C-alpha cells in the first residue's frame, strides 16, 4: 500500500502536535505518524491500579502562553501547586514562598532560616530583571547555572537549600551545569506562572491538543524504516509514503542527522498511603539527601490521581548505584521519617527509570546553531529551542513557518 501527502510530520509529541494543529487550521494536506499508540512523547501518564502515574514527576507552567493558546484550559482543569517549596532541613520542613503571590505565608518566608535578607533582595531584583525574558535576546555570557547563581551574589545557603534541589528537579541534573540561559528562562516563567497539573494527569495536555487535528490524518504504531532520497518513506510494516515536505521531531531526527544529543535521566517511585503529608500543596525538596531530590503529594493537588481516598506520593530519585529493590526499601524508610507512621503505612506502587527524560543543555547550547541541517527535511523538538513543553510547541510552529518560506 502506498500513500501520498503534502506534509509528513513524524512524532506526536508537543512539537509534532503543534505543527499538525497549524496544518489543520490552515487546511493543509498533512499526515502525522507516531511509533507508539499514544500522543505526547515524553509528556504523558499511565493509568494503572486505580492511579494516574505521570511519566516521571512533571508539571505544566501556567505561563506557557503559546501552548495555552492550543489548549482548552477549561477541559484540562489545571490544579496548581503553591509558589515556593517545602524544604526538609533534616528534622522538619521549612516553607519558602513568594509573598507577592502567597500572602498567607509572608511571615514564614520572611523569617525563614533558609534565606538571608540579601538573598530576598536579590530574588526580587532577579524577578524584575527577567520580566519578559527571551533566550534569543540574551547576549550575556552563558555560564553554568551554578556559576551564575554564585556570581549573582546568592548565599551558599540558599543555593544549596533551595536553588539546587528546585532546579535539579527541572533540569534533572544535580550539579547545575545546565545553561544559565535556560535557568533564566525557567525562572522567568515561574515568576509569572505556577506549576500545575491537569486534574486527570499530564497525558491530558497532548490529548487536549490532539482534539484539534483530524484523526484520519494520524497513523499510530507506525515506524519509519528508511527515508529515501526522493522523499519516499519506507515504513516498518512494508507500506510506503511519499511526501513533498518532511518534518522530523524529537528522536526521529536521528533518522537523517548525525548530531548526538545528551539526555538527563531520572528515577521516579510511586507510593500510596492513608497518611496525608502536611503542606502537600507545595513541592517538597530535600537538599541534604544525596538520593531523594523532591517529593510531590499528587492527590493534594488533584484527588483524581487516585480512585480511592488514599494519597499518591511521587518521589524523584538521583541514584545510579542502588538497585530498584534497594531504592524501594530506602524510600519507604525515608517516608516514615518525613511524614510519620510505620513502613506498612506506605505501599509501593510503581518504579520508573527514565533514561532520556530531558535534553542536557550545557553553557553555549543556545549560542550555537541548534538547527540540525538538511536540504530536504525540517527538524523540530525541544532540542531546537529549549527543553520545555513550551519550547517544543514553539519548535513545531517554527517548523511550519519554514515550510511556508520554502526553507527546507
pLDDT digits (tens, 9 = 90+) for 116-148: 889 988 988 999 999 999 999 999 999 999 999
60-198+263-359 is a CATH 3.40.50.280 domain? no
pLDDT tops 60 at residue 268:
yes
Whether 247 contacts 7, CB under 8 Å = yes
**The pLDDT value given to residue 1:** 61
pLDDT score recorded for residue 115: 77
Q: How high is the pLDDT of residue 100?
A: 60
25-29, long-range: CB within 8 Å, 24+ apart, which pairs? 25/212, 29/5
Is 370 or 115 the better-scoring residue by pLDDT? 115
The whole-model pTM stands at 0.93
132 dihedral zone (left: phi>0; alpha: psi -120 to 50; beta): left
Pinpoint the residues of the chain covered by CATH 3.90.660.50: 60-198+263-359
Does position 357 have pLDDT exceeding 90, yes or no? Answer: yes
Higher pLDDT, 179 or 106: 179
Question: What distance in Å separates the CA atoms of residue 358 and residue 56, rounded to the nearest whole number?
Answer: 11
DSSP lists the bridge partners of residue 147 as: none
| 293-319 pLDDT, tens digit each | 999 999 999 999 999 999 999 999 998
* Max avg pLDDT among 239-243, 269-273, 354-358: 269-273
For residue 108, pLDDT over 60 is answered with no
pLDDT at 340 over 60: yes
- Residue-level length of the chain: 408
- pLDDT band (50, 70, 90) for residue 103: very low
Classify domain 2-44+203-261+363-405 at the CATH topology level. FAD/NAD(P)-binding domain (3.50.50)
Instruction: Report how far residue 394's alpha carbon sits from residue 19's, in angstroms, rounded to the nearest whole number.
Output: 9
Q: Is the pLDDT of residue 231 over 80?
A: no
**Contact 331/240 with Cβ under 8 angstroms?**
no
More confident residue, 129 or 237: 129
Categorize the per-residue pLDDT at 107 as very low, low, confident or very high, splitting at 50, 70 and 90: very low
Name the pLDDT band for 17 (thresholds 50, 70, 90).
very high
Q: How confident is the model at residue 238 (pLDDT cuts 50, 70, 90)?
A: confident
- Start-end ranges of CATH 3.50.50.60 in the chain? 2-44+203-261+363-405
If we measure between CA atoms, which residue out of 89, 109, 114 comes closest to residue 98?
Answer: 109
Confidence of residue 372 (pLDDT cuts 50, 70, 90): very low
Distance of CA 23 to the CA centre of its chain: 25
pLDDT digits over 203-221, tens only? Answer: 999 999 999 999 999 999 9
Amino acid at each position: 500500500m502506498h500513500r501520498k501527502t503534502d506534509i509528513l510530520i513524524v512524532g506526536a509529541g508537543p512539537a509534532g502536535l503543534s505543527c499538525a494543529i497549524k496544518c489543520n487550521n490552515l487546511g493543509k494536506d498533512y499526515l502525522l505518524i507516531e511509533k507508539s499508540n499514544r500522543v505526547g512523547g515524553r509528556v504523558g501518564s499511565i493509568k494503572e491500579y486505580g492511579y494516574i502515574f505521570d511519566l516521571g514527576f512533571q508539571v505544566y507552567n501556567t505561563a506557557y502562553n503559546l501552548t495555552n493558546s492550543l489548549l482548552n484550559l477549561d477541559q484540562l482543569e489545571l490544579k496548581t501547586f503553591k509558589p515556593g517549596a517545602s524544604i526538609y532541613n533534616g528534622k522538619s520542613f521549612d516553607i519558602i514562598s513568594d509573598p507577592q503571590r502567597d500572602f498567607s505565608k509572608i511571615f514564614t518566608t520572611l523569617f525563614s532560616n533558609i534565606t538571608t535578607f540579601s538573598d530576598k533582595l536579590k530574588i526580587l531584583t532577579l524577578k524584575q530583571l527577567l520580566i519578559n525574558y527571551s533566550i534569543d535576546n540574551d547576549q550575556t555570557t552563558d555560564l553554568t547555572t551554578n556559576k551564575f547563581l554564585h556570581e549573582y551574589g546568592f548565599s551558599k545557603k540558599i543555593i544549596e537549600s533551595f536553588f539546587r534541589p528546585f532546579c535539579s528537579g527541572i533540569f534533572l541534573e544535580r550539579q547545575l551545569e545546565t545553561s544559565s540561559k535556560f535557568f533564566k528562562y525557567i525562572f522567568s516563567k515561574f515568576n509569572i506562572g505556577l506549576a500545575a497539573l491537569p486534574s486527570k494527569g499530564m497525558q491530558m495536555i497532548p490529548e487536549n491538543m490532539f482534539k484539534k487535528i483530524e484523526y484520519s490524518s494520524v497513523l499510530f504504531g507506525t515506524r519509519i524504516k528508511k527515508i529515501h532520497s526522493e522523499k519516499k518513506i519506507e515504513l516498518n510494516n512494508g507500506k510506503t509514503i511519499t511526501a513533498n515536505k518532511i518534518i522530523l521531531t524529537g528522536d526521529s531526527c536521528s533518522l537523517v542527522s548525525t548530531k548526538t544529543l545528551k539526555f538527563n535521566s531520572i528515577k521516579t517511585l510511586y507510593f500510596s498511603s492513608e497518611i496525608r503529608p502536611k503542606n502537600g500543596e507545595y513541592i517538597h525538596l530535600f537538599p541534604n539527601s544525596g538520593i531523594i531530590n523532591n517529593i510531590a503529594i499528587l492527590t493534594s493537588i488533584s484527588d483524581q490521581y487516585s480512585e480511592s481516598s488514599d494519597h499518591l506520593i511521587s518521589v524523584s530519585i538521583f541514584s545510579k548505584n542502588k538497585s530498584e529493590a534497594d531504592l524501594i526499601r530506602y524510600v519507604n524508610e525515608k517516608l516514615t521519617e518525613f511524614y510519620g507512621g510505620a513502613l506498612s503505612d506506605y505501599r509501593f506502587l510503581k518504579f520508573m527509570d527514565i533514561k532520556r527524560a530531558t535534553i542536557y543543555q550545557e553553557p553555549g547550547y543556545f549560542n550555537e546553531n541548534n538547527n540540525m541541517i538538511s536540504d530536504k527535511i525540517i527538524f523540530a523538538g525541544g532540542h531546537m529551542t529549549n527543553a520545555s513543553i513550551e519550547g517544543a510547541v514553539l519548535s513545531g510552529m517554527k517548523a511550519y513557518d519554514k515550510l511556508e518560506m520554502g526553507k527546507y
